[in-house]
Amino acid sequence: MSNAKKQITLWLSAVIVLFLITLFSSRQGYFVGHLIILTIISAALASAWNIVGGMAGQLSLGHMAFFGIGAYTSTLLYTKMEISPWFGLILGVLLSSLVAFLVGIPTFRLEGSYYALATLALGLSLYQLSVKFVSITNGAQGIAIPFKDSFANMSFSALWQYVLLAGSYLIIVLGVCSYIAATKLGFQLAAVREDAQAAQAIGVNTMRVKLIAGTISGGLAAGIGSIYAQYILFIDPHSALGVNIAIQAVVLSVVGGVGFVFGPTLGAIALIPISQIILKNFGASAPSLHILIYGAVTILVALVAPKGIIGVLRQISSRISNRSKAGQND
Amino acid sequence: MTSQIILSTSGATKRFGGVTAVNNVDFSINRGEVVGILGPNGAGKSSFFNLLAGAIQPDSGTINFLDQDVTSWQSHEMCAKGLARTFQIVRPLKGLTVLENVMVGAFAKTRSVREAKEIATSAIELVGLAGLENVVSSNLTLGFRKRLEVARALATKPEILLLDEVMSGLNPAELDSFLEMLRSVNKDGVTLIVVEHIVSAVIQISTRIVVIVQGSTIANGTPSEVINNKLVIDAYLGELDYEVS
Amino acid sequence: MVLVQVVVSGLLLGGIYALLSVGVTLVLGVVKFVNFAQGELLMIGMYATLVIYTGVKIHPYLALPIIALMMFFLGVVLHFGLLKWTVGGGHNLQIVVTLGLGLVLQSGAQLIFGGNFQSLGEGKFFNSVIQLGQIYISVSRLITLIVATVVTFALVLVLDKTLWGKAVRATAMDQGAAQLMGIKVKRIYLVTMGIGSALAGIAGVMLMPIYPVYPTIGTQLLLIGFIIVTLGGLGSVVGAFIGSLIVGVVEALAGYWFDSSMSSVVVYIFFILILLVRPQGIMKGDVA
């Protein structure tokens, strides 16, 4: 199958899958619909993270900052100036990209752990700032978003419409990831991830390549933040800028397969529904049980199956094809 | 062979703390040559190599490449201009296949995935790795990993290829076929600088040899000139029987 | 005069940080291991202090050696049972695994102790203050600084003068060469991880009378710990100590000039500045 045909089939299947999921969710009750939307949103954020964290191998611990910039930008513009969240989303993406770029400049020159620490510092800073500057962000009380359903307000009355909204965004993010993976940038990112010094010697401008990945990653994360805000209709420092947001992105990607285009999505499918169900049933008595599971699963996967679910699937499929080859030789 | 100087240093000096690793070295290489650099361990060969490659910058002196002052240039800039290097301890991009590894090199000179694949495939063929394109590079034996290093560097379409003790660890049979491979690379138009330990190998393949001892050049000539040079024998080779072909 | 008070408070704050960051830098310098669960180890030290004080009524400062020993063994067990698989596996792997470990410890603490802030309540030294001229010094913080200084000093002495300390430094400088000289590198790693954990535990003990504990206290302290380690020079124990005092003063000054809630933001900006200006830190990266 030629490359172009592959691309078209992939896109078509993605659209069909989205359509089917949307159809499915329109028949479900609130809990299942909500679950699907949360899974998609988490998958989109984790996939955005994956560009810098997985493909470039630069572990960011601050993606809550970008998510939060998106959420707060569109929300503030909407609630205070009645600007459509669609514009707010785009503005948030641009602002977030800029911030990601600026954070990258001092840190990408140095070894990977510094980027992790600096992004964590960024996220924690924005959290503190949003708590403090009450006049802008309403502080810890958060901002409630008024609901007036219309397309222009990115507000919808049926859950399946949010599924479509978030799902389309996820497809865009995945599209960006696939594009990167299939072009020069993807190869160069992989080289930097594997061995930055060797990559530099073969002509890869590691700084430039990391900056591009970091900027795109930060920008895309903001968009899903805006969508989240418009769905939940309430944001506060904890839900939009909390550390757990960043950590979840890492966990989902690691479990699903860090560096692979569909890894974070598989991770989201594997973990989010379970964690939401646990939250629902044990939320009162054991509120952080799902975090415990996240932690344990992360350790397990990182040590035993470092390529995540996708790695395991690939191993199984190559073993099957090896067996069938062996069978053919008999 | 045109005698056209493509890479030269003038007074190149590099100090590490109190040690002068490279001491005021003048060096030049013409297009098409194969220059071997010999010298005892710790004599400054590797430091000089890294200066040429742009991995480190000299404290004083200049480096000139293709009529341009590249003294302060870094390795990826040197690579873009046409100087590629291999690593002494091979550094394959472990998670990538042979083809993907070499394609990264090719991307130094092209944007197109299709073209990178073509360049990579011919480089892989030139070094004798044809058929192993889809093997994950961490699964290769040492000899093949070294060829991969060379292929990857070749894919950047260099004028000069710097080989850093690339032959250590190879058994005699592997060594012979490796030298053959380097000869065909050179015939293909790539100038080679070979920093080595294995004196016999360097003598076989070089058109000219430079001997560096304690940071300075003590000899510079054809292989037979160099091994019969008294200074070299005293400082480095001792009385040895070498056949120059 | 107020400024002097602020600086003094900052120095005392630095004392607390010193215990944490010395542990981080030791592990980083010797085992070359990035431990993002160090904050949670401090948290465990704090909860252990709480439990012992409220349960068995032993004063934290008296319980210190017990908890330090307990944390040492915890560190050894964690390394032997889990973390040793990541040594040499690259910083990214270590960050991911220790992050996961941190999550487990954090949520475990939440399940056991609940999410509320918990303090020791009343106790000797906890709230007493001594006065030197115009300067007020909190006794518990002063004791912390003294303990931090003693511990750091002891550590530097051990590393410098004892045979074992030299083996540790050799391992830090060149693990391969050290092994060839007969040094049992794996054992050194084990002990170093234990010490790092013990130091975090001691930091927790000293912090408990001063500050309330809650399950997620680890994250912020971890970041400060690594900032200090960067400032002080990776692997330098003395650097970490000095860096802690500097960061403590910076944070205190920021709290005074701007706002107490902004003080950590200022420290983070300070961090970015360090990365821009002198990422290798103030001391050369030799352990001790």
Residue C146 has pLDDT above 70, yes or no: yes
Residue C280 has pLDDT above 70, yes or no: yes
Asked if A302 and C97 come within 8 Å (Cβ–Cβ), the reply is yes
Of the candidates C194, C170, C206, C282, the one whose C-alpha atom is nearest the C-alpha of residue C18 is C206
**Within a 10 A sphere around the Cβ of C51, how many other Cβ atoms?**
14
pLDDT for residue A123: 94
Q: What's chain C's average pLDDT?
A: 88
Residue A126 banded pLDDT, cuts 50, 70, 90: very high
Rounded to an integer, the average pLDDT of C24-44 is 91
Shortest Cα distance from A297 to chain C (angstroms)? 8
Amino acid at B134: N
Beta strand pairing call for C129-132 and C135-138: antiparallel
Regarding the domain delimited by A3-329, which CATH topology (the fold level of the hierarchy) does it fall under? Answer: ABC transporter involved in vitamin B12 uptake, BtuC (1.10.3470)
Residue B243 banded pLDDT, cuts 50, 70, 90: very low
B96 touches chain A (CB under 8 A): yes
pLDDT for residue C284: 65
Taking a C-beta distance cutoff of 8 angstroms, is the pair B108, B156 a contact?
yes
C34 touches chain A (CB under 8 A): yes
Asked if A198 and B87 come within 8 Å (Cβ–Cβ), the reply is yes
Rounded to an integer, the average pLDDT of A225-254 is 94
Asked if C99 and A247 come within 8 Å (Cβ–Cβ), the reply is yes
Residue C288 has pLDDT above 70, yes or no: no
Chain A residues with CB under 8 Å of C85 CB are: 303
Question: Chains that contact C by 3+ CB pairs under 8 Å?
Answer: A
Whole-model pTM?
0.88
Packing angle, helices A206-232 and A85-107, rounded to 10: 150
Summarised one tens digit per residue, pLDDT across range A55-89 is: 999 999 999 999 999 999 999 999 999 889 999 99
- Extract the tokens encoding A21: 């999921």
Domain ranges of chain C: 2-277
Q: Nearest by CB to A296, which of C93, C104, C223?
A: C104
Asked if B76 and A204 come within 8 Å (Cβ–Cβ), the reply is yes
A125 touches chain C (CB under 8 A): yes
Residue A285 has pLDDT above 80, yes or no: no
Share of chain C above pLDDT 70, in %: 98
Q: What's chain A's average pLDDT?
A: 90
Residue A271 banded pLDDT, cuts 50, 70, 90: very high
Residue C20 has pLDDT above 60, yes or no: yes
Chain A residues with CB under 8 Å of C268 CB are: 121-122, 124-125
Taking a C-beta distance cutoff of 8 angstroms, is the pair B71, B56 a contact?
no
Q: Nearest by CB to A128, which of C219, C227, C261?
A: C261
pLDDT for residue C184: 85
Residue C285 banded pLDDT, cuts 50, 70, 90: low
pLDDT for residue A295: 94
pLDDT for residue B199: 82
Rg of chain C on CA atoms, in Å: 18
Distance between the two ends of chain C, CA-based, in angstroms?
35
Shortest Cα distance from A95 to chain C (angstroms)? 19
B233 touches chain A (CB under 8 A): no
A-C contacts (CB, under 8 Å)? 118
Rounded to an integer, the average pLDDT of C179-201 is 90
Q: Nearest by CB to B76, which of A193, A195, A205?
A: A205
Buried b (16+ CB within 10 A) or exposed e, A87-106: ebbbbbbebbbebbbebbeb
Chain A residues with CB under 8 Å of B87 CB are: 198, 201
CA-based torsion, C234, C237, C239, C245: positive or negative = positive
pLDDT for residue C66: 93
Q: Which of A188-197, A303-312, B138-147, C118-127 has the lowest mean pLDDT?
A: C118-127
**A interface with B, Cβ–Cβ below 8 Å:** 182-184, 187-188, 190-191, 193-195, 197-206
Asked if A183 and B80 come within 8 Å (Cβ–Cβ), the reply is no
ipTM, two decimals, is: 0.89
Chain B residues with CB under 8 Å of A195 CB are: 91, 93-94
pLDDT for residue A52: 95
pLDDT for residue B235: 72
Summarised one tens digit per residue, pLDDT across range B26-35 is: 888 999 999 9
Summarised one tens digit per residue, pLDDT across range C44-102 is: 999 999 999 988 888 888 899 999 999 999 999 999 988 888 887 888 999 999 999 99
Chain B residues with CB under 8 Å of A197 CB are: 91
Asked if B76 and A198 come within 8 Å (Cβ–Cβ), the reply is no
Taking a C-beta distance cutoff of 8 angstroms, is the pair C195, C23 a contact?
yes
Report how far residue B177's alpha carbon sits from residue C257's, in angstroms, rounded to the nearest whole number: 72
Summarised one tens digit per residue, pLDDT across range A164-214 is: 999 999 999 999 999 999 899 999 999 999 998 888 888 889 999 999 999
Asked if A201 and B55 come within 8 Å (Cβ–Cβ), the reply is yes
Asked if B79 and A183 come within 8 Å (Cβ–Cβ), the reply is no
Residue A2 has pLDDT above 70, yes or no: no
A194 touches chain C (CB under 8 A): no
Beta-bridged to residue B209, according to DSSP, are B36, B221
Chain A residues with CB under 8 Å of C95 CB are: 59, 113, 116
Q: Tell me which of C261 and C34 has the higher pLDDT.
A: C34
Residue B100 has pLDDT above 90, yes or no: yes
Rounded to an integer, the average pLDDT of A265-280 is 92
Chain A residues with CB under 8 Å of C100 CB are: 251, 294-299, 302
Interface test with A, best of B104, B114, B115 (most A CBs within 10 A): B104
Of the candidates B90, B26, B80, the one whose C-alpha atom is nearest the C-alpha of residue B53 is B80
C88 touches chain A (CB under 8 A): no
Summarised one tens digit per residue, pLDDT across range B11-49 is: 889 988 888 888 888 888 999 999 998 887 776 788 888
Chain C residues with CB under 8 Å of A117 CB are: 223, 226-227, 230, 271
Residue B89 has pLDDT above 50, yes or no: yes
B117 touches chain A (CB under 8 A): no
Asked if C92 and A57 come within 8 Å (Cβ–Cβ), the reply is yes
pLDDT for residue B239: 46
Residue B245 has pLDDT above 60, yes or no: no
Chain B residues with CB under 8 Å of A321 CB are: none
